[in-house]
């Protein structure tokens, strides 16, 4: 399992080692031992899974205060454009975004630290998205950023896809109208 650092501090792309043969494939999707070898010490407490169709956008969400969450995200089936934005106060990469194609085929994962807004757009006909969280969901601590914020300058690279967005996600604030997260 390879952990690759990104340009955004504390954000890692993980590429598992996949063993394939005539029966199919096998890979270790998570290893606490390997995570700790990279100096990371997460205590995952919740696994979530979402099924969506092409064009569904979920995000850009985060939790604040004592309810902040780190996430380990991956796609089991299909493909998504996964996007994060660093919203940590005093971070050298504050306001910067990172995007990556995650798919059931490439099996890449993204380790999203606390203090990042996270979202994804389904680019395949359907997708099953799975993620671990290091803190429980708290509706009162929920926040988000508007995915079309011109200041974020996110290239969704999907001119041919009609976005399917929840009413809640379509009225989220922009980065300029948002308060940076102070990590506990």
Catalytic residues: 61, 131
Secondary structure percentages of the chain, helix, strand, coil, to 5: 10, 45, 45
In angstroms, the Cα distances linking 29 to 96, 107, 156, 170 are 27, 9, 27, 33
Residues 6 or more apart in contact with residue 148 via CB below 8 angstroms:
none
Asked whether the beta carbons of 11 and 110 are under 8 A apart, the reply is yes
- Write out the two tokens for 93: 């990469």
Which is nearest to 64 in space by CA: 138, 131, 164? Answer: 138
End-to-end CA distance of the chain: 30
Beta bridge partners of 55: none
């Amino acid at each position: 399992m390879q952990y690759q650092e990104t340009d955004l501090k504390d954000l890692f792309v993980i590429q598992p080692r996949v063993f394939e043969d005539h029966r199919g494939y096998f890979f270790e999707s998570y290893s606490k031992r390997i995570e700790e070898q990279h100096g990371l010490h997460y205590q995952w407490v919740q696994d979530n899974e979402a099924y969506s169709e092409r064009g569904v956008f979920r995000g850009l969400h985060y939790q604040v205060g004592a309810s902040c969450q780190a996430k380990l995200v991956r796609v089991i089936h299909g493909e998504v454009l996964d996007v994060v934005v660093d919203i940590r106060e005093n971070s050298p990469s504050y306001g910067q975004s990172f995007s990556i194609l995650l798919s059931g085929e490439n099996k890449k994962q993204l380790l999203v630290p606390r203090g990042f807004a996270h979202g994804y757009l389904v680019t395949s006909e359907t997708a099953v998205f799975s993620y671990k969280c290091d803190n429980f969901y708290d509706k009162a601590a929920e926040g988000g950023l508007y995915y079309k914020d011109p200041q974020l300058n996110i290239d969704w690279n999907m001119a041919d896809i009609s976005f399917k967005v929840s009413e809640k996600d379509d009225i989220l604030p922009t980065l300029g109208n948002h308060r940076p997260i102070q990590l506990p």
